[in-house]
A and B are shown apart, each in its own frame.
Chain A
Amino acid sequence: MALYSFWIFDRHCNCIFDREWTLKTNPSSGTTNSKLNEDTAKLLYGMVFSLRSISQKLGSKDSFNEIKTIATAKYRAHILCTASGLWFILLSDLKQEDLSQVLRYLYSEIYVKTVVYNWLSPVDFAESANEKRGQGFRKIRNRQFLLAVEQFLGPMVN
């Protein structure tokens, strides 16, 4: 089992969390919330956004057709989109068929309990209208959240 990276996007299309484990320069320690990842985040958002719209258009009207995974020759992206507009995305190797339970755990046990319940942490990461529509750069810096993500996903990385 190998996980490559983990991303969260909020309902303003901003990347509010990213964690990458596979950077070539320093393979032992990953990077969290790195500036370098901003472009990658936007591209990833765009990829999921487009494929998601297409999959919804191709589905029949009355049944809900939400995108779950996208696979390429080298990796697979697992996607959880909540009704409130949050996206959780995990990139893994091709051996992982379905990580939806993992994503669900990240959402309900980690994000909700450390970010949403934490009344002093913002629940909306866009500070002004300028930071909406993917223009924002504020990230989750909550230590408990970072720790919990690391503890939960760490053992699955390799």
Chain B
Amino acid sequence: MSASMSGVANASTGSKKSLKAFSDDIWKNKTAKINAELFTLTYGSIVSQLCTDFERDFAKVNNQLYLMGYNIGMRLIEDFLARTALPRCESLAKTSEVVSKCAFKIFLNVTPRVGNWSSSQDSFSLFLDENPLSDFVELPMDAAKELWYSNIICGVLKGALEMVQMDCDVYFTSDVLKGDQTTELRVKLNRILKDEIPAGED
């Protein structure tokens, strides 16, 4: 416990190296793990089931995956905060770092690169060099145009960020499954939501 507590202290001071060590420690010592292939294949069967259910209307499949992700994200954020005890981020730069180095590491054991910052510093991209969701996957011809296979991740990020009062748009702009060079996930901050205050206070 003492090790993790000092980790929390380091992480909140914002040094890059400690945030990485901090999340490595959580991944190693505080995370129950399952077989990655089990997870990958379960996700695959969800996507394939949705494709059947929506009669290969991939826009609807994308949408449904996003919604499922949103519902997961709303809950997953509590799990994340319970494990890391991180406070709210003071800037989007800090958020991007926590998402890539901490959240992706703890839940998927990958660390996406952060880059492609917009000039106004209100949006960034996450480059997923490896994506555990899409191991073994090759998109069929008709799906390659429209389907964002890992769209659930967008929903998860959207839901989780919304619970810490950040209203963001999250979407894929490219995916190696579609023949692109990289898998790029774009996060755009719309606004910081206000905390509710009790009735009668304003």
Contacts and interface: CB of A to CB of B under 8 A. Distances in A.
Interface of A: 11-13, 42, 45-46, 49, 62, 64, 66, 82-86, 101, 104, 107-108, 111-112, 116-117, 119, 123-124, 132-135
B35 to A, nearest CB: 19
Interface residues of B, number: 23
Contacts of B75: 116-117, 119, 123
A42 B85 CA distance: 26
Contacts of A86: 78
A111 B78 contact: yes
A42 B198 CA distance: 9
Given A64-B12, A64-B87, A116-B78, A84 B199 contact: no
Contacts of A134: 196, 198-199
Interface in B73-92: 74-75, 77-79, 81-83, 85-88, 90
Contacts of B67: none
A84 B195 contact: no
A6 to B, nearest CB: 17
B196 A12 contact: yes
B198 A84 contact: no
B74 A124 contact: yes
B166 to A, nearest CB: 10
Given A45-B198, A84-B78, A134-B198, 7 more contacts: A62-B90, A64-B88, A85-B163, A104-B82, A107-B82, A116-B78, A133-B198
Interface of B: 1, 12, 74-75, 77-79, 81-83, 85-88, 90, 163-165, 195-199
Contacts of B74: 123-124
A6 B87 CA distance: 23
B155 to A, nearest CB: 15
A23 to B, nearest CB: 25
A45 to B, nearest CB: 7
Nearest to A126: B196
Contacts of B198: 13, 42, 45-46, 49, 133-134
